[in-house]
């Protein structure tokens, strides 16, 4: 189900569905297709049955009903978009409403025609139930034609664009992560720390070197799939955190509170890394006397996986996002692309610190 789409603005790269780069031409083509099918149906039926009453009643019903159907269908879907409904609900309501509308319209036009045009002697009038059934079927048929002409191609195009954007975003995220972990000053600072520990604390130096090697190997290795378990992601973050704790000894401490039932939960690969990095750079390290980072996970109602990255930094004034904050933007966009409206990222900031809270549907599984 696709929610929150602007059905009247397909000129935008992803968010629109019904408009193309030439919306007038597309609309006219779809309307001509619907009108052509209606004319073909009427001509075929008249040539087969030679029933003037049926031909005139259906013709008037289509001439009156089709423009109203098209106008009303667009209005309903634009309203559904503004109210952030999905596609399936409006389609179902629209189909039933169109069927009821055409059933009543065909009944009215048939009664009007019978009062003006006398039926042939051999004419066997339809019963009331037959007229309503035929009218309801007409409404469903032409609403389905409208949906096929407008909605289906747009949904397919939207899915294609979303897939391309997701792939592009994944590549950008991987490149940003690679630069973040392999940029010269990160390597130099870490290697300098290791060099200083070689004689003072060889065991800690070896552990730090092993963690750095794991990060370097992970950065140049193509990941298998887009999802990973929370346990795997926390393991990666722990190695990253150990390097930072050693480099900023006495000024940075990490706390880990991984709730029961969350270890095997699936989430996008390295989704939490940008949030941890922001909490370190712009939160904990700006707190005089030592900064702390708490990574907490728990199961919420829904059920949902809730991941909280909390620091004791000075907070973010007015919860403003820094210009060029690719990390936060990428997390939000990755959640939107995979979960639509079912996942959220919110910031809760105060002078006592900042919390980044991610909520997403709980999926239990394992990733090879």
Distance between CA atoms of 304 and 324, rounded to whole angstroms? 30
Percentage with pLDDT > 70 across the chain:
72
pLDDT at 264: 93
Residue recorded with tokens 């200083």: 196
What is the average per-residue pLDDT within 203-231? 77
The helix/strand/coil state of 113 is: helix
User: pTM score > 0.75 for this model?
Assistant: no
Q: Is the pLDDT of residue 6 over 60?
A: no
- Report residue 247 CA to chain centroid gap: 39
Percentage with pLDDT > 90 across the chain:
15
The answer to whether 69 touches 100, Cβ cutoff 8 Å, is no
Distance between CA atoms of 257 and 46, rounded to whole angstroms? 75
The answer to whether 88 touches 164, Cβ cutoff 8 Å, is no
Q: Is 286 exposed, middle or buried (0-12, 13-18, 19+ CB in 10 A)?
A: middle
What is the average per-residue pLDDT within 113-126? 64
Domains and their CATH numbers in the chain: 23-161 (no CATH), 223-361 (3.30.565.10)
Distance between CA atoms of 206 and 202, rounded to whole angstroms? 6
Distance between CA atoms of 124 and 218, rounded to whole angstroms? 79
Phi, psi of 58 (to 5 degrees): -70, -35
How confident is the prediction for the chain on average, in pLDDT?
76
Q: What tens digit of pLDDT does each residue of 54-94 get?
A: 777 777 777 887 778 777 777 777 776 666 666 677 777 77
pLDDT at 22: 57
26 to 21, 175, 353: CA distances (angstroms)? 9, 39, 52
Residue predicted with more confidence, 107 or 202: 202
Residue predicted with more confidence, 7 or 256: 256
Most confident of 103-112, 118-127, 183-192, 233-242: 233-242
> CA 185, 191, 196 angle in degrees (round to 5)?
125
Q: What tens digit of pLDDT does each residue of 288-341 get?
A: 888 999 999 999 988 999 999 999 988 877 655 554 456 788 788 888 878 878
């Amino acid at each position: 189900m696709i929610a929150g789409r602007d059905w009247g603005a397909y000129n935008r790269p992803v968010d629109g569905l019904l408009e193309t780069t030439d919306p007038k031409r597309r609309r006219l083509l779809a309307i001509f297709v619907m009108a052509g099918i209606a004319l073909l149906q009427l001509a075929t039926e008249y040539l087969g049955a030679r029933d003037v009453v049926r031909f005139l009643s259906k013709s008037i019903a289509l001439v009156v009903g089709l423009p109203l159907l098209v106008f009303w269908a667009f209005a309903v879907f634009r309203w559904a978009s503004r109210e952030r409904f999905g596609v399936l609900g409006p389609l179902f309501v629209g189909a039933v409403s169109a069927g009821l509308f055409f059933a009543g319209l065909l009944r009215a036009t048939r009664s009007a025609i019978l009062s003006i045009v006398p039926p042939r002697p051999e004419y066997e009038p339809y019963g009331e139930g037959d007229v309503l059934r035929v009218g309801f079927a007409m409404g469903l048929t032409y609403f389905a034609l409208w949906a096929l002409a407008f909605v289906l191609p747009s949904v397919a195009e939207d899915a294609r664009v979303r897939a391309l954007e997701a792939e592009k975003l994944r590549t950008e995220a991987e490149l940003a992560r690679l630069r973040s972990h392999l940029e010269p000053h990160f390597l130099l600072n870490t290697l300098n720390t290791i060099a200083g520990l070689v004689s003072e604390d060889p065991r800690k130096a070896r552990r730090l070197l092993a963690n750095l090697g794991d990060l370097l190997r992970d950065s140049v290795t193509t990941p298998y799939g887009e999802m990973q378990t929370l346990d795997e992601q926390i393991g990666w973050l722990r190695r990253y955190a150990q390097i930072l704790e050693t480099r900023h000894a006495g000024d940075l401490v990490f706390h880990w509170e991984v709730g029961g039932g969350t270890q095997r939960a699936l989430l996008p690969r390295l989704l939490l890394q940008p949030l941890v990095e922001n909490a370190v750079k712009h939160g904990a390290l700006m707190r005089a006397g030592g900064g702390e980072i708490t990574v907490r996970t728990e199961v919420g109602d829904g059920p949902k996986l809730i991941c909280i990255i909390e620091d004791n930094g000075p907070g973010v004034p007015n919860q403003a996002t820094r210009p060029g904050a690719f990390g936060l933007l990428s997390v939000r966009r990755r959640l939107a692309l995979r979960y639509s409206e079912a996942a959220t990222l919110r910031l809760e900031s105060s002078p006592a610190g900042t919390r980044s809270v991610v909520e997403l549907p709980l999926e239990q599984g394992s990733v090879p």
